[in-house]
Structure formats: structure tokens, C-alpha cells
Amino acid sequence: MIPCSDPLAQYNAYQSEIDSAINKVLSSGRYILGEEVKAFEREFAQYLGVNHCIGVGSGTEALHIALTACGVRQGDEVITVSHTAVATATAIKLCGAKPVFVDIDASTYTMDVDCLQDAISENSKAIVPVHLYGHPADISGIAHFAKANSLYLIEDCAQAHGAAYNNQIVGSFGDLSCFSFYPTKNLGCIGDGGAIACQNPELAKQALLIREYGWEEKFVSSRQGWNSRLDELQAAILRIKLTHLDESNALRCALAQQYHEHLDKTELVLPTTLDHYHHVFHLFVVRTPKRDQLKEFLNRCDIGASIHYPVPIHRQPEFSTPKISLPETEKACQEILSLPLFPELSTKIERVIESILEFEGQHS
Ligand SMILES: *Cc1c(COP(=O)(O)O)cnc(C)c1O
């Protein structure tokens, strides 16, 4: 079986380093907000080139806390995309705010800047672009729009650790930027984890307070907060994985290149990387009207192709907004398929390619 992603393979790749880091934490007796979290926050901030990094419990919580730090609350609107992990919209709703969905650019699957003007209202407070699949959103256009309209810009970087636009790394553009370390992400821990990156000291301070009950001083809440901390074990594991992030992103890119070379002449629409963008291939998403047949064929060959995501958020019961129509989002959901891609896929990619070519032979 070739899975779509394989966190076990990554643990195996760094097992001795990870095991000894875990043992160090176990015998330290300090499991929450100790030296490992502090060191990881410092090292990840340095990697991103930002002043502040705050480790939190998950990517969803990173977004929830970042939005709360910006003062987003009941009655506010937050502009985002419907073509993303549901977590992006969940976090907005957790603040009591309303997600306002805009359509995507069909080539990059990320926020279409031309749709922003129609989405804005007097209640708009923030904008949350998603660097989906590892390709940065049009962050320069979006940042310009956010600034011109006095909106907070919060980047959802959960699928794009290490991606860049014009050699500037994502996570360094927004007022606040949010990362998930869910095990299958480009930088993943062994459980749940997340982080917020930030340049602004006041926003960073608010995020720091919110992650632990609003405590400025221990046991004394100075504002509303709750409990969403990155733990010492996850931070220790992330410190190791961070030292390998660039090399594992390079492996992802080389595998993507191999897909491109061998699938170029098929009917599949392959992922686009725009000029000046560095794509880190969290997922390798192809597009075809025969998506369902191809998925079934690959699954029968024991190849884990899957769909990210099958139902756009504005069509999910919890978020249902029947009136709006997002043609590119709705069309993409019918045709997209994620092929196996993870740094340790290695030569197993050849069997995936052969199977796809076999499918093509049968269906052309
Ligand atoms: C994974 C993901 C999240 C949520 O992260 P969790 O750590 O699972 O809470 C948010 N946004 C996007 C785009 C994601 O892919």
C-alpha cells in the first residue's frame, strides 16, 4: 500500500533523534511551557524571520487565538476562502464572527484577489488567505487590499511551512500568521500542535496572554483567554523536524518534478507554480473530469489518492450559505485528486506513475 501521506515514514527517518529528544523531556519533569517550547519558538521565529512566535495547541487554535488577538468578535465578518480545510472557517466561527467566502484562482487554488472588493462590508474586520497545498496565495495583492481597507491580515500557513513569494517566506507577511503541526503537514509533530508568528509586539503579547487564561501574572487573568499550549514533547520533536524542513521540502519538490516529467503528456491538469513563487508541495493535486474513476482505479491498485476537499465549506451543513455561488471552487471540488506525496515516498513514486499511465491507456 502506498499512502497519500505517511507520518510513520518520517518518524522512522529521524527515529533515534526523536526518541532521545522524547526521553530528555520525559526525564526533565517539565512538560508544559518549559525550555523546549521556548527554544522551538525562538528557532521557528528565526526560520521565518519574524520577531515573535507563540506555540499553541493546534492550527485551528492558532487561527482562533490570532483572530481574537485582533479583536474579532460577534458581529464581525472575516473574508476567507471556501476551498480550504474546514478549520479555517471553524476558527472564525469560534470568535462569533461570520466567515465571508470568496472564490479561488483556478490555477493556484488560492484566494482570487479580484473577488475581494465584492466581499467587503462595514463589518469586515480581517482577511484570512490560505497558502493551499503549499503554493502561496497572491499575498502581495491581498496585503495591498488589506492595507487599503484597514483589515487585519492573518495568513493560514498550515500547508505551507517554508513556501515563499519573491524569496520572502510565508508567515512573515501578515499581522499574524498561523501554522499547524498536524502530523502530515510539511512540519509535523506526533500529535496536535500549532504556532502563531507575528512582527507586532502588542498583537504578540495578546496572543501569548490568550493561550494561557489571559495570565499576565500567574493565576491572575488580565483579559479573556483559555488554555491552548504547545507541549514540551511536541516542541522537542518539532525542533528536530525543523532542522530537516528545508531538506524534506526539497524532496517533496523533486518528487513533484518527477510527476511533472512523467505525467506531462497525459490528460491530467498538473499543479501550476507561478513565477516568483516557491511551492513546497504539501499536496500534489491534479485535476481531471475522470477524477472519480481515477481515484477508484488507484485505490484498487493500493494507492492512496484522496480529495482535498470534497465538499466546499459554503456547502457544508454547519456553514451552509445556499445563496452564494463560487463557480471555481465548486468546479475544482468535482475534479481534484491528491496523489501520494511525502518526503519518504522515494522510488515508490514510480508505481504511482505507472498506474496513472495505465489508467490513461484504458481511458483515452
Ligand atoms: C491542517 C489545517 C488547519 C488546522 O490545523 P489543525 O492543527 O489540524 O487544527 C488549518 N488550515 C489549514 C489550511 C489546514 O490545512
**C-beta of residue 313 within 8 angstroms of C-beta of residue 203:** no
CA 180 – ligand 1 centroid, Å: 5
CA atoms of 36 and 31, how far apart (whole Å): 9
Find how far residue 152's CA is from the centre of its chain. Answer: 19
What grid cell was written down for 349? Answer: 513514486
pLDDT at 232 over 90: yes
What's the pLDDT at 321? 81
**C-beta of residue 196 within 8 angstroms of C-beta of residue 56:** yes
Determine the average pLDDT of the residues in 20-34.
97
Q: What is the phi/psi pair of residue 249, to 5°? A: -65, -35
Report the residue among 178, 180, 280 best suited for mutation to probe ligand 1: largest number of ligand atoms under 8 A from its CB.
180
CA 181 – ligand 1 centroid, Å: 8
CA atoms of 208 and 229, how far apart (whole Å): 10
Tell me the pTM: 0.98
pLDDT at 320 over 90: no
Rounded alpha-carbon distances, angstroms, from residue 92 to 111, 134, 219, 249? 17, 22, 28, 29
The chain-wide mean pLDDT, for the chain, equals: 97
> Does 309 sit behind a cis peptide bond, omega within 30 degrees of 0 on the bond before it?
yes
What's the pLDDT at 82? 98
pLDDT in tens, 126-147: 999 999 999 999 999 999 999 9
CB-defined site of ligand 1, < 6 Å = 58-60, 84-85, 87-88, 130, 156, 158-159, 180, 182, 192, 194
pLDDT in tens, 60-102: 999 999 999 999 999 999 999 999 999 999 999 999 999 999 9
Detail the DSSP E strand segments found in 290-348: 336-339
**C-beta of residue 326 within 8 angstroms of C-beta of residue 82:** yes
What grid cell was written down for 100? Answer: 465571508
Q: What is the dihedral of CA 203, 193, 183, 288, to 10 degrees?
A: -40
What's the pLDDT at 140? 97
User: Residue 212: which of 193, 196, 225 has the closest Cα?
Assistant: 225
Q: Which residues pair with 164 in a beta bridge?
A: 169, 278
Strands 152-156 and 124-128: parallel
Determine the average pLDDT of the residues in 202-210.
98
**C-beta of residue 178 within 8 angstroms of C-beta of residue 241:** no
Helix (H, G, I), strand (E, B) or coil at 246: helix
User: Residue 130: which of 108, 152, 151, 149 has the closest Cα?
Assistant: 108
